[in-house]
Amino acid sequence: MAQQQQRLGTLVFYSDFDDFGAWQKALQAQLPDLKVVHSSALERPEDVHYAMVWKPPEGFFQQMPNLRLIVNLGAGVDALVSRSDLPAGIPITRITDPNMSRMMAGYVLFAVLRHARDIPHFEQAQRRGEWAYRHPRSPEEIAVAVLGLGHLGAMAASEVQRQGFRTLGWSRSQRLIEGVECFSGIETLDTVLGQADIVVLMLPLTPHTKGLFDRARLERLRPGAAFVNVARGALVDQAALTALLQSGHIGSATLDVFEREPLPADDPLWGIPQVLITPHLASVAIPSSSARQIAANILRVAEGEEPMDVVDPGRGY
C-alpha cells in the first residue's frame, strides 16, 4: 500500500464551493492507494502529482514541483485557463460526466418547456388572480436553438428534440446529431438566431465567445423570443439583455449565470416578472459519478500516458 501510494502520490484539493469530504471518499473508493489531501492540510507539496481545483488562489501551483495533472473541478474551464500562473506543460483536464450532462439537460428541458408552455404568462396572471387562458402551441411549431453542442449541449439538444420541438444546433465545427439541424461557424449564427423562438446558450467562455451576444446580436432574436443562459454571464451584454426584456423585444428569460455573481440585490433583472433567476446551479460536478473519469486519468498519467478530456488552453475550452 505504501509502495502504491508512492507510485500514485498525492492529490491536493482546493475549492471553496465543493465538499472535500465527499470528493475524498469518492476518489478513494476508486483509488484506495491515492492520498487525497485538502490544500489547507498539505504538508509535503513535493509529493503532489495531481491538483483538483476550483478557483485556487494566485500562485497555488508554484509550490508543487512534481505536479503532473491539473483537474478542473467542473465543466467550464474559463477561470482556470485565463490565469497567468499555470505551470507550463502540465495537462489540464475537466469533468465530463454523463450524470452532469443529464442534470444540465434536465434544467434546459425545464427552461424550454417553461417558455414553450407560456408559464411566465400564467405565473403573472396568477399573481393578479386572473384566469388567463392562452391556447397551447404544439412543440413542432416552436423552434429551439441550442448554441454550443459539446458534452452538455449535445445531450440537451437531443432531449429538446425528443420532446418534438424543431431543434437547431450551433457549434464551431460541424456536428451531426440525429434530429437536430446543425449549423457551424460565426457566419451562420444570425441565421440560426433569426429562426429560433427559444435560444439556449451552452457555449464555453473563451476570447471568441466573450461578449458575443452584444446588443446588435440580441436584437436579431425574433420579437418575443425567449432567452436561456446556462453557460456564462460574460457571453452576454447584460445591460442590453435587460433593456430588451424591459422593452418586450425579448419575451422572457431563464438565467442561471450573470456578469457578476451573486447577482447584486439592486440589479434590475430581479424585478422583471417574465425573468426566472437561479443562482448558477444548472449542473454541478457529482463526486460519486465524476470520480471514475478522474481516477481513470490519474492512472493514465501514473502510467506515463496522456490523460483524456484535455483542455486546449489556446482554444480556451
Ligand X SMILES: NC(=O)c1ccc[n+]([C@@H]2O[C@H](COP(=O)([O-])OP(=O)(O)OC[C@H]3O[C@@H](n4cnc5c(N)ncnc54)[C@H](OP(=O)(O)O)[C@@H]3O)[C@@H](O)[C@H]2O)c1
Tell me how far, at minimum, the Cβ of 64 lies from ligand X, in Å: 26
Concatenate the DSSP letters of all residues of 101-130 into one string: HHHHHHHHHHHHHHHHTTHHHHHHHHHTT-
Residue whose C-alpha is closest to residue 142's, from 169, 162, 159, 167: 167
Contacts of 314 (CB under 8 A, 6+ apart): none
Q: Look at the alpha carbons of 29, 30, 33, 36 in this order and tell me if their dihedral is positive or negative.
A: negative
> Catalytic one among 175, 280, 292, 300?
280
In the complex, what is the shortest distance from the CB of residue 11 to ligand X, in angstroms, rounded to a whole number?
22
Helices (H), 72-195: 78-81, 98-116, 119-127, 151-162, 189-195
| Known active-site residue 137 | no
Instruction: Residue 263: name the closest of 249, 242, 248 by CA.
Output: 242
Q: Which is nearer to ligand X, 55 or 175 (CB)?
A: 175
Distance of alpha carbon 316 from alpha carbon 266, whole angstroms: 32
Sorted by sequence, the CB contacts under 8 Å of residue 12 that are 6+ apart come out as: 37, 38, 39, 42, 45, 48, 50, 51, 52, 64
Q: How far is the CB of 200 from ligand X (least distance, A)?
A: 11
For residue 262 the three cell numbers come to 451573486
Cβ atoms within 10 Å of 174's Cβ, excluding its own: 10
Nearer residue to ligand X within complex by CB, 146 or 221? 146
C-beta of residue 288 within 8 angstroms of C-beta of residue 26 = yes
For binding to ligand X (CB under 6 A), which residues are involved? 74-76, 148-153, 171-173, 175, 202-206, 208-209, 230-232, 256-257, 280-283, 317
User: Angle, to 10 degrees, between the axis of helix 98-116 and the axis of helix 119-127?
Assistant: 60
Active site residue 121: no
CB closer to ligand X out of 34 and 95: 95
Closest to ligand X by CB, 67 vs 230, is 230
Give 149 or 218: the residue with its C-beta nearer to ligand X.
149
Known catalytic residues are 232, 280
